[in-house]
Amino acid sequence: MADTTEARRARKWNATRLPDQTGRTAVITGANSGLGLATAQALARTGAHVVFAVRDLARGGAAAAKVDGSTEVRRLDLADLDSVREFAEAWDRPLDLLINNAGVMMLPEQRTKQGFEMQFGTNHLGHFALTNLLLPHVTDRVVTVSSGLHRGGDGVIHFDDVNLRGRYSPTRAYAQSKLANLLFTLELQRRLTEAGSPVRALAAHPGYAATNLQSHAANPLMRAVMGVGNRIFAQDDKAGALPTLYAAGQDLPGAAYVGPDGLGEMRGAPTLVGRSAAASDPESARRLWRLSEEMTGVTWGLKPVG
C-alpha cells in the first residue's frame, strides 16, 4: 500500500496518543488559559489529577470547571517569590509532573514584587524557585516551556545586568527569559544526573500558537501584526500544547527539547528540535544557576541518592 500523505499524517503524534495518566498528579503553572489550559485538558482527560497553579483563583476555578477530569486550583504568582514559597510550603504529597508553562511576553518595562525585570523574573526566576522548592516531591519529570524566540534579542544572557536597566526592550527581555528557560533545563538535568535522581528535566516550545500572550505586547503595531498572524498563520492552543504533552508523556532523554516538526518549527507534530549554541553552553547554564540562587535565595536542595 502506498505511503500516502494521509497515512503519514495519521501516524503523527497527537494528544490521543498520550499514555494513560491515571494515578499521576501534575502541577501546571498558568493553566487557566491558552497552552496551559489545553495541556490541563489533555492530561486530565487521560486520568491525571491536575493542579491549576494560577495567580487569579476565580479565573482558575472557571477554567478548571471546563475540564473533564480531576482538578484543583491553588494560588501562585510567579512574579512574587513570597507567593512561590507559600505554594511550595503547602505542597505535601508526591508530584509526578511539574509543567512550568506560565509566562509573560514582550511587556512594557515592569518589575516583579522583588524588583526584578518582569519577564526574566516571571518566566525564569519564578519557575527556578518553584522547581527547586518542589523538587524533593517530584517523582518523574519537569517540563519547562521555552520559545523559538530564545534565538532572538541579543542571543545571550546579560550577566552584567539581567534586569536590563537602561537598555530594556520588550523583545530583548523576552528572548533572554526564554534562553534562560533552556539553560535552566540543561543545568537542572546535569544536577539531577549527578545526584543519581531518576527525575528528568525537559523543555518544549509551541511554535507559532495563537494565545492571549501576544495581546500584551508593548508595541501597538506588534500587537496588530500578531493579531493578524494568530488568525491566519498560527496553530490553535491545542496544537501548540502538543510539544509540552510529548515532553510530559514520551520516553525522552533528559534535557531534550521538543517543538513542532514543520517549516521553521512554526507548526506541526512534536519532535526533538535543536537550540542555539548559547542555549547549549554548560558554563553559561552553571553561571545562570548561581546567579538565580543569589537573586531568589533558593538553592539546590536535592540530596544524592544512596
Which of the residues are catalytic?
174
CA distance 85 to 130: 7
Position 240, amino acid: G
What amino acid is encoded at 1 in this protein?
Answer: M
Instruction: Measure the CA–CA gap between 210 and 232, rounded to whole angstroms.
Output: 10
Q: Which residue has the cell 535543536?
A: 274
Burial class (CB in 10 A: 0-12, 13-18, 19+), 217: buried
Which three-class secondary structure string do you get for the chain?
A: CCCCHHHHHHHCCCHHHCCCCCCCEEEEECCCCHHHHHHHHHHHHCCCEEEEEECCHHHHHHHHCCCCCEEEEEECCCCCHHHHHHHHHCCCCCEEEEEECCCCCCCCCCECCCCCEHHHHHHHHHHHHHHHHHHHHEEEEEEEECCHHHHCCCCCCCCCCCCCCCCCCHHHHHHHHHHHHHHHHHHHHHHHHHCCCCCEEEEECCCCECCHHHHHCCCHHHHHHHHHHHHHCCECHHHHCHHHHHHHHCCCCCCCEEEECCHHHCCCCEEECCCCCHHHCHHHHHHHHHHHHHHHCCCCCCCCCC
142 closest CA partner among 72, 71, 199? 199
